[in-house]
A and B are shown apart, each in its own frame.
Chain A
Amino acid sequence: MAWRLHPRITQALAKTVLWAFTGLTLLILIFIIVNISVKGLPQVTWSFLSQDPTDMGRHGGIFSTIVATVYITLLAIILASPLGVGTAIYLTEYTREGWATRIIRFGAECLAGVPSIILGLFGFVLFVMKLGFGWSIISGGLTLAVMVLPIIIRTAEEAIKAVPRDYRQVCYSLGLSQWQTITRIVLPSALPGITTGIMLSVGRSLGETAVLLFTAGAALRTPTSLFDSGRTMAVHFYILAREGISMPNAYGTAAILMISILLINLIAYSLMQRLMRRFS
């Protein structure tokens, strides 16, 4: 057998390499946040937020893209939440583990893995072409609803499962029906967790580009109806950056986008933590 290093030396070497890799990873990620914030935030003024873009986004602000983003995200959440929470209730409260739950769970996992460009293709052929909605807020919202559905199902399921069995047993012993138990006790207790799923979905919708490029289009006008095309902030940022229209405006849009997503995810995460701590 060839010579071997002393185990302590190997350990020291391994730890050094691992810590160096960890440091590098953190540096990269910090660099991303700092770079976008430092270059982007100085662009963000009240007029940047409140004025419409002019000259393809070269001048002016991003107001119309904020409006489009809010419409599309709201629509997606309104459509996906009842469906997702309903699915989670069915999975946790109404069925025993069996083939039905396994198929539904596997389906949700697969759906979560479907790349956004495939969802874009799907939304394009079904909503834009077949149903004739065109590039519009409604096509974009419907497709995003499909995209965020697995997030809402998964977090709602986790939250409902975290509510202790005792709560339900006390309700039954007091003569409440199963549905009363769910609506009066289980859902209110699981609400922070369900909210987490919804907020994560908002975050995901804000950052999405590939889906919306082919379902909601890229019109810069402020959308006034569900059937108007609308350009979201992420799509606007993509077009500004890719076509080199305006670097300062691109950085400004990116900063707003990134910081709002990070904040939303942060709140979502702490809500879930609080729920889990309360019941564990």
Chain B
Amino acid sequence: MNKSKFIERVLFLLALSSISSLVIITIFIFEEGLPLILHTGLKDFIFSTHWAPTKGFFGIGAMIVSSLLVTLGAMILGVPLGLACAIVLAEFSSLRLRRLLKPTLELLAGIPSVVYGFLGVVWLVPLIRDHLGGPGLSLLAAAVILGIMILPTVISISIDALTAVPDVYRDGSIALGATEWQTVRRVVLPAASSGIITAVILGMGRAVGETMAVIMVAGNAIKLPTSILEPVRTLTSNIALELGYAAGRHREALFATGIVLFIIIMILNFSTTLITRRR
């Protein structure tokens, strides 16, 4: 084998081992968690809301619902704000302002999630407790914090999608007598829709998977919430709160919780790939 062939093989192996880490993660999570799902029964595991791992009850229904509700709340807050920001920066602001603000907003994606959670505890939780009632640590608090945390993701990818729309589209629309806003709403947004949907899905993935900030502000009670002011426990916080001391079946149940989370995330990943390929 000559030298260049050898180098190619080595690089191929490096690339393969990078990707194999994803396979290894999948194998280990399933290997640890699947036995419990088979033992409890998939239906009981997913739909039961009775979680008492030391007594042998492993139902994560309440946490699945809580995770979905918290994510939904984060989307309701984060998507309009983020999209508005993206539209203003991509369409209505000067180039100079965009050049300044886009990187600034991207830098903010680097702020650690514990910092968001901490500010949630210090500012948001007392605010909710004093003005809206309830314990403060709540579904609402988690949704607001996550909504803020996904902003940089949503904004940055949406701006890219909007600026990728060719200027001829805008010029054509303006030339036909449409206002700037009509142009944005009827021409630019539809043209950028697949990119914007990708931004929303990636934001969703970030919200579903977030752990530390949610643990700090959500209150972590295991039950189906009946109001947004009640404390909730998400799938991620369930794993993080109990992994430290869990053993045996209990630990398996936490890995099984991880499997459910992993599948949700993979579905989101697949859908973004499908959307970008369709374009």
Contact = CB atoms under 8 A, between A and B. Distances in A.
Interface string A105-143: 011111101111111111011100000000000000000
A35 interface: yes
A8 B180 CA distance: 9
A109 B269 contact: yes
B160 interface: no
A122 B111 contact: no
Interface centre among A29, A106, A122, A237 (most CB of B within 10 A): A122
B111 A117 contact: no
Interface in A76-121: 82-84, 86-87, 89-91, 94, 103-104, 106-111, 113-121
A103 B12 CA distance: 13
Nearest to B276: A109
A36 B268 contact: no
A119 to B, nearest CB: 7
A241 interface: yes
Contact of A117 (B15, B87, B151, B240): B240
Residue among A7, A113, A117 with most chain B CB within 10 A: A117
B92 A15 contact: yes
Interface residues of B, number: 81
Given A108-B18, A115-B211, A241-B216, A32 B258 contact: no
19 contacts: A7-B181, A11-B180, A28-B148, A29-B148, A32-B108, A35-B123, A36-B115, A36-B119, A87-B11, A104-B16, A108-B18, A113-B268, A117-B258, A121-B258, A122-B28, A125-B255, A214-B243, A241-B114, A242-B216
B111 A207 contact: yes
B81 A32 contact: no
B17 interface: yes
Interface in A9-37: 10-11, 14-15, 17-19, 21-22, 24-26, 28-29, 32-33, 35-36
B88 interface: yes
B15 A241 contact: no
Given A114-B262, A115-B210, 17 more contacts: A7-B182, A15-B92, A18-B92, A21-B88, A24-B81, A25-B82, A33-B108, A33-B111, A84-B18, A87-B11, A107-B22, A115-B211, A121-B239, A208-B112, A210-B240, A257-B112, A269-B103
A185 interface: no
A8 B82 CA distance: 24
Contacts of A117: 209, 211, 236, 239-240, 258, 261
B240 A120 contact: yes
B231 to A, nearest CB: 15
A137 to B, nearest CB: 19
Contacts of A3: none
A12 to B, nearest CB: 8
A28 B17 CA distance: 41
Interface string B151-168: 100010000000000000
B53 interface: no
B47 interface: no
A258 B88 contact: no
Tell which of B8, B112, B266, B273 has the most Cβ of chain A within 10 Å.
Answer: B112
A148 B43 CA distance: 36
B132 interface: no
Interface of B: 3-4, 7-8, 10-12, 14-19, 21-22, 24-25, 28-29, 32, 80-82, 84-85, 87-89, 92, 101, 103, 105-108, 110-119, 121, 123, 148, 151, 155, 178-182, 185, 202, 205, 208-212, 215-216, 236, 239-240, 243-244, 254-255, 258, 261-262, 265-266, 268-269, 272-273
Contact of B211 (A83, A114, A116): A116
Contacts of A111: 19, 21-22, 25
Contacts of B268: 113
Nearest to A200: B110
Nearest to A204: B110
A266 interface: yes
Given A32-B111, A262-B107, A179 B7 contact: yes
Contacts of B181: 7, 10-11, 14-15
Contacts of A89: 11
A234 B82 CA distance: 27
A258 B114 CA distance: 10
Given A32-B119, A113-B265, A210-B212, A106 B273 contact: yes
Contacts of B29: 118, 121-122, 125
Given A14-B181, A241-B118, A115 B111 contact: no
Contacts of A91: 15
A203 interface: yes
Nearest to B91: A18
A118 B258 contact: yes
